[in-house]
Structure 1
Amino acid sequence: MSRIVFVNGAFVPEDEAKISIFDRGFLMADAVYEVTSVLDGKLCDFAGHVARLHRSLGELGMPSPVNDDELLAIHRELVARNGIEEGVVYLQVTRGAHDRDFAWPEGLKPSLVLFTQARQIVTSPTAAKGLRVISIDDLRWGRRDIKTVQLLYPSLAKMEAKRRGADDAWMVMDGKVTEGTSNNAYIVTRDGTIVTRNLSNDILHGITRASVLRLASDAQMKIEERPFSIAEAQAATEAFSTAASSFVMPVVEIDGVAIGDGSPGPVARRLREIYIETARAQAV
């Protein structure tokens, strides 16, 4: 059965979905997006994703095409129509369609597209064995806090990691790790402190990041929000990443150097358990 997607007010089979070739998301990457995970057919951290969507839209001076209640209803309808018990819902808002020009006229009608992806998240084989990552220079634009669809460089970084036999890349600016290609990055120091880069324009303000740090604090874990280097990461007892599509993902190797004993560590494993338990309980 063909997947059902949502395009500008209509639920349609994916092979019938259409959007203008003049859409600025297609021509200019003039668009923002969100990815919300689904567990047991319900949406995780939905309020956080909507809040970040509004922030991204506001930073680009782009109106929201629907209100929050309508957005929730669209998500739920897509999940139901596609029978998604576990996976993600992808949402994209573009500035709209107009003949190609760097400037745009006022009053463009934004485009709204959503689709689902069934995905094994909770029992992910990768979570059981951990990720191997490489480091790569961070050459992205300076407003990484806005969740735009400008994902070419992270895609190139991910492919470079694959070419070098790894799973992902951690990007480095001025000698310090910013984040992964599609996730926030963390280490655990020898005294058990969780370290992750502080929020700024340099990184995406992860919704899963916020939830995991809150849960870690509730569990009386020590947290430091500051930059760290690849060398510090390689000397750490653990490393991990967080993202809506993968939750808490252990990192077991960086640039060929094993982290700790080279297997997923107890802090990452525990945070993953706590996050999944909490996400299930609070999903809408």
Structure 2
Amino acid sequence: MLHLRLIIPADRTDEVVRLIENTVGTTHLVVVPGAARNPVGDVVMCDVAREAGDELIGALRELGLDKTGSIAVENIDLSLSKRADKAEKEAPGEGADAVLWEHLADATHEESTLSITYVAFLTLATMIAACGVVLDNAILIVGAMAVGPEFGPLAGLSTAIVQRHPRLALRSLIALLVGFAVAMAVTVGFTVFMDTLGYFTEAKLEADRPNTAFVYAPDAFSFIVAVLAGIAGTLSLTSAKSGALVGVAISVTTVPAAANAAVALAYGDTKQTIGSTNQLLLNLAGIILAATLTLILQKYLWSRQRAATRAAR
């Protein structure tokens, strides 16, 4: 269930209340006249089944409530109510399959912003991965994958393509390009520093590395895994099952490939630099393609379900 808190101009309250009452899957409607001070208006609260949330939020935006008032949406972790159970049963579809497009756009917008924190996490992940590739330590590689925040802008770019948000697409692309460029540049310097201390050596990089050699040897499986991870990551975002993102993070070799490219570049190993760069680009392309196609399919299926629901009323 979702909880909506609305601030509404007093002359629009009756219209909004009728809309909520006529939306299948809503319950626990509360109207508090004159309670809002900034902006001035009435406060209306209600609970709505997740599968009916996108339609209701879209209708509220069509009324211009996001401009004249406010629309706040929260997830309800626990709701002990027979009315809530009834609302969920009446709403078409399953809550786990519902896509809240406004929430998705807002979430990916935040995750795809180029910030100091984002760059720091990506840089740290790349440096950890650099230690992993030099030491041929798979545990460090997995740890670096989990730390890397790059799925945010990847999801943002896919969402922007489907929803036709050019600003979000540009923001996500900048976050990806600048983030990886800074992370790899810092990792080159980190490699030189570690080489000076004697912890990194070219001999270790060139030695047989059975646990981490895959990061600079792209093949068909690299693209297949990236596609599967892109689908899983997108589903985890749209269904609010964010725990699955951890699995996605440790299944794709974006950060390790970037790290190996940076270390190889520091030592002048052109072959590994090119191979790692190809691995990185192949994985990024696979995730973006899969995520975009997944969102397109979800949007199509959801629009058909909404059309069927309206026709049945």
| Greater fraction of residues in helix | 2
In our comparison, the structure showing a higher alpha carbon Rg is 2
TM-score of the pair, normalised by structure 1: 0.28
Q: Compare the two structures and name the one with the higher strand fraction.
A: 1
